[in-house]
């Protein structure tokens, strides 16, 4: 990702205002622009990614399931581009994933949003098959239908009756959305897809808890301790004491 992409989407969104809520971003530590020490340190940590999400999915599923077999059970915490990997690993090893915390996970279902409108996530929330009931032999079996279309996103969901995500339905999920990050525009679409598929999803919007001004990199921002406390309390609530 280049400097403009990081600044406009993550660290200095109020400067660019690419979506309405971007102007509310106040919690990044520093100016969020090139030349600021915090931004420069963050930018140095960014590494290249494979261009094929199908290839990424297959590689992480193969490696991740082996890791889970060694260290599980676990609580998976994902963010942004890694969001779909949590669904894949939870689906592959539901008995080893006690809960999934998804901080603004990749979405919305079936199509990119805000910065592009190209097809994506052919299986709704992933690019490779998950365990649906009734089984899905191809993406078309999900019969995607458009429920809402706006200049920034399109809400595409399964036709009803929706097929159930048989394995993920056994795992409690927390989806957390910041006040000003670009996911605030469409995370509700991802939550709707999962709930329609039988997944127990708690959707937390930080501003509803009085936690204001956060963007997409909420866990790196000035009030990140408050956010971590929300996550910790949710985990303690959904897991028995001897599993926490």
CA distances from 221 to 20, 25, 41, 227 (A): 20, 10, 14, 10
SS3 49: coil
Which of 35, 29, 33 has its CA nearest to residue 16? 33
Tell me whether residue 80 is one of the annotated catalytic residues: yes
CB 41 within 8 A of CB 227: no
CA distance 185 to 178: 10
For residue 172, what are the contacts with CB-CB under 8 A and spacing of at least 6? 99, 100, 200, 202, 238
Measured CA to CA, the distance from residue 186 to residue 24 in angstroms comes to 17
For 5-39, give the DSSP string.
HHIIIII-HHHH-SSGGGGG---SSS--STTSHHH
Q: What's the Rg (C-alpha) of the chain?
A: 18
Measured distance CA(168)–CA(170) in Å, rounded: 5
* Catalytic residue from among 80, 106, 178, 180: 80
Which residues are tagged catalytic? Answer: 80
């Amino acid at each position: 990702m280049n400097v403009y992409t990081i600044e406009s989407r993550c660290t200095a969104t109020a400067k660019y205002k690419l979506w309405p809520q971007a102007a509310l971003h106040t919690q990044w530590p520093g100016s969020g622009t090139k030349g600021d020490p915090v931004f420069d340190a963050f930018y140095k940590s960014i590494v290249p990614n494979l261009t094929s999400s199908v290839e990424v999915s297959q590689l992480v599923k193969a490696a991740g399931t082996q890791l889970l077999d060694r260290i599980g059970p676990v609580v998976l915490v994902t963010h942004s581009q890694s969001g779909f990997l949590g669904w894949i690993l939870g689906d592959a090893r539901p008995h080893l994933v006690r809960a999934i915390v998804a901080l603004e996970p990749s979405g919305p279902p079936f199509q990119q949003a805000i910065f592009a409108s190209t097809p994506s996530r052919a299986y709704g929330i992933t690019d490779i098959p998950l365990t649906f009931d009734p089984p899905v032999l191809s993406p078309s079996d999900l019969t995607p239908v458009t429920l809402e279309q706006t200049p920034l996103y399109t809400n595409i969901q399964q036709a009803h009756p929706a097929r159930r995500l048989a394995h993920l339905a056994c795992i409690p999920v927390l989806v957390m959305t910041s006040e000003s990050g670009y996911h605030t525009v469409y995370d509700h679409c991802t939550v709707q897809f999962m709930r329609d598929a039988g997944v127990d999803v708690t959707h937390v919007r930080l501003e509803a808890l009085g936690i204001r001004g956060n963007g997409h990199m909420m866990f790196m921002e000035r009030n990140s301790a408050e956010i971590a406390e929300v996550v910790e309390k949710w985990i303690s609530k959904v897991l028995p004491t001897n599993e926490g």
